[in-house]
Structure 1
Amino acid sequence: MAALLLLISFMFLVLFFFKKSPSTKRLPPSPLKLPIIGNIYLAGSLPHRSFQSLSKRYGEVMLLHFGSKPVVVASSANAAREIMKNQDLIFASRPRLSFIDRFFYGGRDVAFAAYGDSWRKGRSMCVLHLFSSKRVQSFRPIRDEETSLMIEKIKRSSPSVVNLSEMFMSLTNDVVSRAVLGRTYGGDDDGEKNFNQILKKIVEILQSYNVGDFVAWLGWINRVNGVEAQVEKIFEMTDEFMEALLREYRDKKSSGDAVVNFADALLELQGESKDSDPVEDDVIKALILDTFAAGTDTTFTALEWTMAELIRNPRTMKLLQKEVREVARNKNGIDINEDDLEKMPYLKAVSKESLRLHPPLPLALPRELNQDTNLLGYDIPRGALVLVNCWAISRDPLLWENPNEFRPERFFDSSIDYKGLHFEMVPFGAGRRGCPGIAFAMSMYELAVSRLVKEFDFGLPNGVREEDLDMTEAPGFVVHKKSPLLVVTTPRAY
């Protein structure tokens, strides 16, 4: 007994002398984490909803752990303002995630690149050569033509059931393809089909969870289950396509063709760049892929949710149709164009309300903290991954009356907008890492919505009532409707 007491006393002495001094840091509240995986189990299939639920218990700033990686989730406008404005530079970088790193040529793009000189150079090229006001205006005929083609396809399908989701995907793909590459990629030959399939596969892979990014010693799983080999195969197909594309455009440039699209502009910039600061081929490839990844899926998703909400809310649909058709009536048979969009305040309100309820990226792309900082009274360590829950913020009952209702009228007496200056809703992000292509995307989006509601009345197939329309979300970092938007269209009689 005496020996046991001595042993216990010795253990207490060891703990007393060798225990670490208590940390003075005030970390954000955190739920219980499991060994090895941490809090990954709490993310669920729709993390934006899971994190909103957790924030009600743990607060506007909470700390999770994905494996060994600390993850800070911000769920309030105040926290978003700190991250995207007040401390924007500190929060400006991106984490290096293996799948993204491979597809985007080791972070040579803009959306997923770490903050630094390479990112600044790439963003400058995008802003000046694709998303400047002059360039966005130059693509206006493309948006007009492709939107008209979509309307004609729908008219030819009437009175059969129309898959609006497919129509929107085709529209956004074709507009972006023509703006970036000068042609569409949806024809009958194998090369065109392969390119669309490549893009689809890249998006599918990027939306999957790679455990090796958070639990390094489990990285072997993707080698065993074949995911790593699949990533490599898709990358090789992508790079082969991009190499052929660059050869094609260089041949065109050698024949003296004018600069008409983004690829042309990047190659011209490459030719003009000094030897000390060249534009590498991998940068051009990554920026082209970036534009497709950011410009197609998100805009298609915004169109899909907007039309679903309008169909589900017949009163709102009728008010919008009345506004759009009144503008059209004053044009004496000339179709609606982008100049007319400024005459449609209710359309602007519908756009804002849809983006508030359904931000295409409910969780803004992750940021990585490049130094220790304090966020709303909490100490956040350098290297933490930071997620802003845009979806939770735009449904915050402290900011929005009846936040789950689709009510565009709420914006009539409000200056709040989606362009990154108001943190009550940030569907496109804000600050340095905000989306540079807002004007390009919204021009296409608003033109498509206005022409659709002008030309058609909408119903649901099989006698489904508007209020019973399925609004279930599909998993993914870009959140689509789980089921496609199937409608019955009735062309408006003139």
Structure 2
Amino acid sequence: MEVSWLLVLLLLCVSFLIIKSKAQYQRLPPGPLAVPFFGNLLWLPQTSSNIESILHDLHTHYGPIISLRMGSRLLIFISDRHLAHSALITYGATFASRPTQTAIREILTVNYHTISSAKYGSLWRLLRRNLAGEFLHPSRVKFFSLARKWTTDLLKEKLSCCKITNDNAIIETFQFSMFSLLIYMCFGKRLEEDYVKQIKSAERDSLLYNGRKLNIFACMPMVTKHLYRKRWKTALNLRKRLKGILLPLIEARRELNEKIREGNSRNEHKILEYCYVDTLLDIRLPDEGGRSLIDDELIALCSEFLIAGTDTTSTTLEWIMAELVKNQQVQLRLWDEIKLVLSNNNSEDIEEGMLEKMPYLKAVVLEALRRHPPVHLLLHHAVTEDFTLGGYVIPKEAWVSINVANIGMDKEVWDNPTEFKPERFLEGGEGVDVDITGTKEIKMMPFGAGRRICSGLGIAMLHLEYFVANLVKEFEWKGIEGDEVDFAEKAEFTVVMKKPLRAHLVQRK
């Protein structure tokens, strides 16, 4: 009897806490019932592998802005383009910071010293300006034209080896080629294939393990860090392995720069005059006594550059080529445009300056980014003060994420949004005036928007247009009889094709 009464009393206390919690946060965005201390963790783990499906159901039930609780953490999800514009553009400074992630900052960000993780402030401005304003400035991007030409040749060579591709040949070729290009740009040196594969393997193993196994540390990190010591140790060992591979490349570049300052010159044709590591070695942190970046910070920033630029580009390339295989009339029109530009320029090769004369090429890329954004949920933003959005209170330090995929499929903006139709971005189409930065209005935002917009937006568009044009110029991409293109999605670091693209590649004459 005493045990029964104790259980009743416990239930009454829990109910009181739930009611009190609900009253305290009644102005929060709506969402499912959250239990104190646990939040929605009592039911979410059963279906957490398909978070997008969960969010879709919740948005359908509660509206375009919803809230979830993961332990003590409050997450806000937005799927409306007007609310997204208010948060990221109109009141961008309030939503421009990043959440605190105490449990994993040692491994992933070296105390938030990366562009994607840094708090909104002077450090973030310095790191972002170095990448977007210096290294990836349009005037400097041309320095890497030979590296892009080399990557194109690499793509052609590898794809020519398999006229009818196996299950993973296309996406693996895209990933390897883009990763090789980014390594070249990052460290200023063209590496042998085995070395590239070592780096790629170390990066991916660390990334996937951290994404799948470290989420547990989001809830009560001081406790879970001890309960799951093996996971923590494995994550540290994976990071140590990556450091052992990347640090020699950084040291080699440092030594090369010292020799140049002493009057020596580069004597290898595979060495670039300018690379990302050069800019990082020159950085001084004024808020930290003017010190240089330490080795772990250099590795974190290089790793961020490689991963962010490789998976997003290779994933989007696969989606584009899948759509061209499925929609042969689109591929034919693009091929006609390419032939015309080559003929008008009396050239056999696609040069980067020709891309601006290919409006249909740009339309194909934009339509793919609208229909298949490589990332469906933006990295979480953190508000710097209590803020009212859409009639609801967003508390300070709440985690806010925007659903990019939903915004790009808004029926109020896009006619038949599930259809792949590049013509919508040409004259007379509903997307002809779209600004993908979202400054004036958000209709699609594959690169995010506002202060935290992707630092590599410009070069990402250049790479996509340049490599798509060359892939279509070199090969006719055909479907394989009895093996239809499957557009089902699977969430990894990016949203990839669940069934990798297979195609019959015919060398063009």
Identify the TM-score tier after normalising by the shorter chain: 0.7 to 0.9
8 Å CA contact 2:83, 2:389 repeated in 1? yes
Residue in structure 1 matched with residue 186 of structure 2 by the alignment: 180
Residue from 240, 255, 258 that aligns with 1:254: 258
- 1:4 alignment counterpart: none
Match of 2:70 among 66, 71, 78: 66
Q: Distance in 2 between matches of 1:232 and 1:220?
A: 12
- Give 2:163's aligned residue: 158
Which of 488, 491, 494 in structure 2 is aligned with 1:472? 488
- State the AA in 2 paired with 1:448: F
Match of 1:436 in 2: 455
Preserved CA contact (<8 Å) 1:48 1:392: no
The counterpart of 1:38, out of the listed 24, 37, 40, is 40
Deviation at 1:41, TM superposition (A): 4.1
Matched residue, 1:8: none
Further displaced range: 388-397 or 116-125 = 116-125
| Cα shift readout 1:107-129 (whole Å, capped 9, x = no counterpart) | 11101222222212211211233
Q: Could you tell me the TM-score, scaled by structure 1's length?
A: 0.88
Q: TM-score, normalised by structure 2?
A: 0.86
- Judged with a 3 Å threshold, the aligned counterparts in structure 2 of structure 1 residues 485 and 242 are, in CA distance, closer, same or farther, namely same
Matched, 1:374 2:388: yes
- What letter matches 2:496 in structure 1? H
Residue 137 of structure 1 aligns to which amino acid in structure 2?
A: K
Do 2:324 and 2:477's aligned partners in 1 also have CA atoms closer than 8 Å?
A: no
Distance in 2 between residues matched to 1:20 and 1:235, nearest whole Å: 40
Kindly tell me the number of residue pairs found equivalent between the two proteins: 471
The residue number in structure 1 matching 2:30 is 29
Give the drift of 1:186: 5.1
Q: Aligned letter for 1:277?
A: G
Whether 2:333 is the aligned partner of 1:313: answer: no
Q: Equivalents in 2 of 1:365, 1:274: separation in Å?
A: 26
Q: Secondary structure at the match of 2:416?
A: coil
Aligned twin of 2:83:
79
Does the 8 Å CA contact 2:208/2:493 hold for their aligned counterparts? no
SS where residue 503 of structure 2 aligns? strand
Equivalent-residue separation in structure 2 for 1:30 and 1:86 (angstroms): 25
- The amino acid across from 1:397 in the alignment is K
2:124 maps to: 119
2:465 is equivalent to residue 452 of structure 1: no
Question: Gaps (5+ residues) in structure 1?
Answer: 1-10
Which residue, out of 196, 210, 232, partners 2:200? 196
Contact 2:485 2:502 (8 Å CA) reproduced: no
Q: What percent identity do the matched residue pairs reach?
A: 30
**Alpha-carbon distance in structure 2 between the residues aligned to 1:376 and 1:78:** 9
Partner of 2:353: 339
Show the counterpart of 1:424. Answer: 443
Indicate the residue corresponding to 1:392 in structure 2: 406
| Distance in 2 between residues matched to 1:400 and 1:100, nearest whole Å | 40
Question: Which one is further off, 409-418 or 335-344?
Answer: 409-418
User: Is the 1:49–1:392 Cα contact (8 Å) retained in structure 2?
Assistant: no
Equivalence for 2:505: 489
Q: Shift of residue 381 of structure 1? A: 1.0
RMSD: 2.7
Match of 1:94 among 77, 94, 98: 98
Q: Any gaps of 5 or more consecutive residues in structure 2?
A: 1-11, 267-272
Name the CA distance, whole Å, in 1 between partners of 2:136 and 2:366: 21
Q: Larger relative CO (CA 8 A, sep 6+): 1 or 2?
A: 1
CA contact (8 A) 1:122 1:287 kept: no
- Answer whether contact 1:328 1:334 (CA < 8 A) is retained: yes
Shift of the alpha carbon at 1:217?
A: 6.6
Q: Which whole-Å CA distance do the structure 2 matches of 1:404 and 1:46 have between them?
A: 21
Shift of 1:333: 4.1
The 3 A distance-change label for structure 1 pair 315 and 115 is same
